[in-house]
Amino acid sequence: MEKIELKNPPRLHRLRLLLLNTDPVVWRTIEAPLEIQLDHLHRAIKEAMGWEIEANGQNDKEYSFTRGEQNVSDPESTTLKEVLGHGGRRLTYLYDGSLNHDIWVEQPVEAENGGFYPRLVDGENIYRSEESDKVMDDFDASPRLLAAKRFQWPEDAPVADDESTRKWGNIAHSIQQKVSTLRESLVDEENPDAEAAEILDTLDAQIEDLPWAIHELLNSTDGLSAAAIDIFIDIIDLNVGLEEVLLPLIRNEALRRGDSPAAVNTATLLGDLRYEPAVEPLVETIVDLDSRDDFLCRTAAVSLTRIGEPAVDTIIDTIHAIPASEGRLALFAALSYMEFEDERIEECLISALEEAHRLDKPEKRDIAYFLSVYGGENAQQALLNAFDQQTQRALSSESVLPGTDQNAEAAGAALFLYQILGSTGWQPDPKRQNQVVQLEDLIQSYSKAMEKSSTTAPVKPHRAEDLPGRNDPCWCGSGKKYKKCHLRTDRN
């Protein structure tokens, strides 16, 4: 195995690898110098994750490294330090076209003089695409050297006093102070929050491994209490970039659809942090789950509302791009609870209301409610127009015959809009009050007809002389004249 001796002062960092979209989580911890070339890091990751075994010993699988939106074009001549740049701590690694990993460059660690790197430090679970269970728990996590080009640490190497090392030291010191202050405030409470105290203990114990501590806590806590959320926000406000820890959790499809609380906790935190880069993944979560009854879907919608104005354009664009669905209604709900006036929101809701009533879409009542919640200068008039349209459908004999299902549905929609209008402070005129009485009578007549038809189903007379006359009501109970209904069928 080729050996490279590092120059002074070398920098050894701990790398945390997380395979995305698996439940339970598959992860590894590797120690490697920032001077390692990406093709060598690729080989180390393959062995650490088990992809050498997965590929049956073949080494021709494609791979790529990405920093932000930029793909690394030449991994054979690019070092980890060069791709991260100044202050960067995260990149992604894609293997074999589908195995996507997040790589976190964590705190500097003390190296063993004369020792060899990269090393596997720890890990859990292993992914096998050929197995039915996919994620297996038989991974050997014992520390060991990895089969890449090995770097030998210099004897008596001085400590690298660089910006990265100082940054982590300052972060750890700031967080330790914050943890101490928060713990004192909890002790002073009459009923201290046990969950928040546990979070403080974990952060204190893993201060040098903070992103991973956050990840583990979010994944193991069933719903964050108010005190716990405040603690997370206080820690993240130290500008350590921990928001980046949260985004992979909300994007993780396995966590979205599983029983893990991590995605719900993450969605809550992203909303409380008003974190703008979270808008797209939160919208994706709502569209993917497509269920207003799903707790994560509702939580994501609330978080979009809390993020506020920066989320409006993305929500509206998504509403226009997807068909009627539960997820679309959840996005309408997120808009309707925005606590500021915005012409874009009002226009979107009014346009959706007009379309839903014109095309008689099932979502018309939901959208009317959302518009009444949001309000706006033109909201009341739009709801009134919809009421008049549904009332005309229900009471007009030219569109559908009175007493049919279509009339009853239109009457029900009109009465619902009448109630919604009342909640906006609208006062009905005598004409519309009279229409409401007619609508209620129509609904009552329809209910009685349905009750009667459910107990005595109409039967065609057996004898010809018992059939109704041409202009008499048909025997089937449709309300139509016999000549317009069953006359031709009975003759045949």
Residue 3, CA distances (Å) to 116, 151, 153 in order: 9, 6, 10
When pLDDT is averaged across residues 289-312 and rounded to a whole number, the result is 88
Is the model's pLDDT at 477 over the cut of 60? Answer: yes
Bridge-partner residues for 28, per DSSP?
17, 123
Q: How confident is the model at residue 96 (pLDDT cuts 50, 70, 90)?
A: confident
* Range scoring the smallest mean pLDDT among 49-63, 137-151, 459-473: 49-63
Supply the pLDDT for residue 342.
92
pLDDT of 222-276, one tens digit each? 666 676 777 776 666 654 555 666 777 777 776 666 656 778 888 888 888 888 8
Q: Kindly report the average pLDDT of the chain as a whole number.
A: 77
Greater model confidence, 387 or 455 = 387
Ranges assigned E (strand) in 109-231 = 116-117, 119-124, 126-127, 135-136, 144-145, 150-152
Confidence check: pLDDT of 282 > 90: yes
Q: What are the pLDDT digits (tens) for 114-131?
A: 677 888 888 888 887 766
Q: How confident is the model over 172-176, as a mean pLDDT?
A: 62
Instruction: Give pLDDT, residue 154.
Output: 60
Q: What is the DSSP letter of 37?
A: B
Helices 163-188 and 226-236 pack at an angle, to 10 degrees, of: 150
User: What's the CA gap between 425 and 146, in Å, rounded?
Assistant: 72
Three-state DSSP class for residue 259: coil
Query: How much is the pLDDT for 305?
Result: 94
DSSP of 459-489: ---SSGGGSPPTTSBPTTSSSSBGGGTTHHH
- Residue-wise pLDDT for 425-444, tens only, equals 888 889 999 999 998 888 88
Tokens 């349905």 sit on residue: 450
Backbone angle region of 8, left / alpha / beta, with phi > 0 → left and psi within -120 to 50 → alpha: beta
Paired sense of beta strands 116-117 and 26-33, if any:
unpaired
Domain boundaries, the chain: 3-152, 368-457, 463-492
Would you state the pLDDT for residue 149? 59
CB 233 within 8 Å of CB 273: yes
Q: Would you say residue 88 has pLDDT above 60?
A: no
Domain 3-152 sits in CATH at: 3.10.290.30
The H or E element spanning position 446 is helix 430-455
Residue 488: C-alpha distances to residues 237, 404, 479, 484 (Å): 79, 22, 17, 9
pLDDT of residue 320: 93
C-beta of residue 91 within 8 angstroms of C-beta of residue 103: yes
Q: Which residue has the higher pLDDT, 191 or 372?
A: 372
Say what percent of the chain tops pLDDT 90: 16
List pLDDT tens digits, range 1-56.
455 555 554 567 888 888 887 777 788 888 888 888 888 888 888 888 887 654 44
Residue 323 in tokens: 């068909």
Could you give phi then psi for residue 367, rounded to 5 degrees?
-65, -35
